[in-house]
Structure 1
Amino acid sequence: MDLPRHLLDVRRIYLEPAVEGFARGREILARFPEAERIPVASHWKIPELREGAEEDWLDAKRGALVLGVKKSLTCRPNGRSADFIAPSTSNGCAMACAYCYVARRKGHSNPISLFVNIEEIAGFIARHAARQGRKAEPNQVDPEAWVYDLGENGDLSVDAALCDNLRDLVATFRALPNAKGSFATKFVNPDLLGYDPRGRTRIRVSLMPEAPARLLDVRTSPIEDRIRFAGELHRAGYELHLNFSPVVIHEGWEAAWRELFAQVDAALPDTAKQQLACEVIMLTHNAELHETNLRWHPRAEDLLWTPRWQEEKISQNGATNLRYRAGPKGKLLARFRAILAERMPYCRVRYAF
C-alpha cells in the first residue's frame, strides 16, 4: 500500500555509505527518486533529527527517511512479549504516540530508519533458532515455539508500506519448524494479508479505548479499524494476540475498557477467540517526555502525568521512568483482569505488568 501523504511524504533520505551496495537499499531509493539524498556516517548520529524543536517534530517524521546497515546482530533474551528480541530491521516510526519510549532514546522526531541488510538479519535469526533446538518446556510466551520479537523499536506494519523487509521475515519464519516471529502494530496495512504466514508469525494488535486513543495514539489507525483488521489477520493465517497497552487510569476508565472489550468480542470470529491471548501493560511515563509533551502536545499530559498516583522506577534498560505506585497498581491490574474475564473470558492473559 501507499502511505497517505499526511503520514509520510519522503523529501529527504539520510543514508549511510554502504546502503547502495544492498539490493534492498537500491529498491527503497528507487521508490523516492525525487527525494534529496543526504550522506551520513551513522543512522544514529543525525543532529538535525535529534535536536529539532518540538514544533518541527512531525514535519521531520513526515518528510525524512533514514537508511542504514544493521551492524550488531544479537538475539537478546526477553521472556515477556517473546523469548528473544531479534536484531531489528528498523527503528523509529511515522506515528507519534504521546507515551512512546523510543523517542526518549533516539530524539523527539524519531523518523523511520530502515536497515537494508535484510538477508544477513534473516539468516542470523534462522541460525539462532536452529541452535535452540526444540523448546523443552512450555512458558507464558508460547507452549512449543521459540518466539522472536521483530519490531521492538517501530511498527513493522508501517515499514511494510516502504519495503519488503517484513515480507522476508514472515517467509523466514514460515520455514522454521521451532520458531515464530512476533510484533505489535497500531497500523492497518492490508498488504500483510497476502504474506502467507501459515501460523508462524504472531501479530499483537495494540488496542485501547477510543477516547484516550484519539488523544494519545497520534497518527495511528483508528481503533475500530484495528479491531476489524485483527479478524482479517487471523483469517489470513497469522496467530492473533492483542496488546492492551498502555492502560491509562482516568475517570471512567473501567467503563471505557468494558466498551472496548464488547467491540472486540462482537468483531472477532469464533476461531480467533479460541486461540486468543493478550498482554496487559500499564502506563510507564518519563519526566523528559512529559516536558516535551508540554511544549508539543500538552493535552496528552492530562492523562499521562498524574504524580499523585505515580512513582519512579528503574526500567530494564536502566532508564528512570514513572509508573503507577506499586500498591494501587496491583489493585488496578486486578480490576482490569476482572473486567476482561467478565467480557472476554476466552482471552488468556499471557502477562501483565
Structure 2
Amino acid sequence: MMDRILISHGNGGKDTQYILQKYIFSKLPENLKKTENGVGLDYPDDGAVIGEIIISTDSHTIDPYFFPGGSIGKLAVSGTINDVVMMGGRPIAILDSIVVAEGFPLDDLDKITSDMISILKEHNISLIGGDFKVIPSNSMKGIVINTVGIGLSKNPIIDRVREGDSIIVTGPIGVHGAVMAALQYGIDTKLKSDVKPLIKLLDVFEKFQGDIHAARDATRGGLAATLNEWAQLSGKMINVYEKDIPIPDEVKSITDVTGLDPLVLANEGVAVLSVSSDKAEQIVEELKKLGFEPSIIGKVIEPKNKDNKGLVIITTEVGGAKILEMPSGDIVPRIC
C-alpha cells in the first residue's frame, strides 16, 4: 500500500488528481470551495473568480533552473500570467514567494529575479508583495518560486467545452518538456523552451467573446491532461486527429530516444482553445496575425455510447483510433 508521496504525484495527471481529491477536495464542504457567486475548487480551472477579479497561484521548481530559452524566473512569472489570461483576465499584479537553499549562488538569484522583473516591466504588471525564505542546505537544493497572479475580467472564461466545438492549439506542442528532457538525459538539441507570456491572446478573447468556451495553457501533463480534464468535466468526448497535431521534428527525435510521449510533455507558451466551430477558421486567422502558429486539431462530440463520455480519442494517421489517457506515472521530473 502506498504511504509516501512519489514524484509522479506532481506530474499534473491522474496521480495529481488522486492526491488533490483525496487529501484536499474531499475534505472541503461545497460552500467553502468558492466565494459567493464566484468560481473556485467547485470547478477546477487555471484559477479562481471573485467578482471581476481573477486570481491564480502556482509553485515552480525546475532542474536545471537555467535552460535554453529561459530560467525559473521567466517560467514562474510567465506561467502565472498565462493562468490569469486563460481565464480571460488582464493581469495587473503578482505576488511572489521565493525559497532558496542555504549556499545558493547570489549571482544566480540576481539573474533569476532580473528575468522576473523584466517580464513585469514589459507588460506593466506590478509586483505588490511577497516573501523570501532560506532553507538549510541539507533540507533542499536549488530554488522554489511561488507566484500569485491577479487580473481583471468582466467576462471570465470558465472551461466548459460544448458539443461541436473545434479544438485549437496556438503553436507547436511538447517543446518545453522536450528541452528539459534533453538536458536531463544528456541529449544535444538546438531547441529552446517556448516559455513566454500569452497576453496577446486577450485580443482574440475580446474579439470573439462568447465563442471561446475553454482556454488552457497545457503545462504539466501537456495536451493529454488538458483534453482529458475537459472531457471529464463536460461528460463529452473529444476527438483529435494525429496528423493535425503540430509536433516539431526535433521534439519527435527527443521523444523517440527517451520513449516519452510528446502529448504529455509540458508547454509553456502554447494555449489550447475550445471554440465555436463556425468561428474556428476566423480565430485561426486572427491568431496568425498576432504571430501564433495555430492548428485546428479536433472537435468535441456528444458520444452516442454513454461509456465513451469523458474520453479523448485520437484518430491516427492511418485511420485507426486509440484512447488518449490522462497522464500517469513519471513523465519528466521538475520541469515547471
Per the TM superposition, whether the score is higher than 0.5 is no
Query: What's the TM-score once normalised by structure 1's chain length?
Result: 0.27
Higher RCO (CA-CA < 8 Å; seq separation 6+): 2
Structure with more of its chain in helix, by fraction: 1
Query: What's the TM-score once normalised by structure 2's chain length?
Result: 0.28
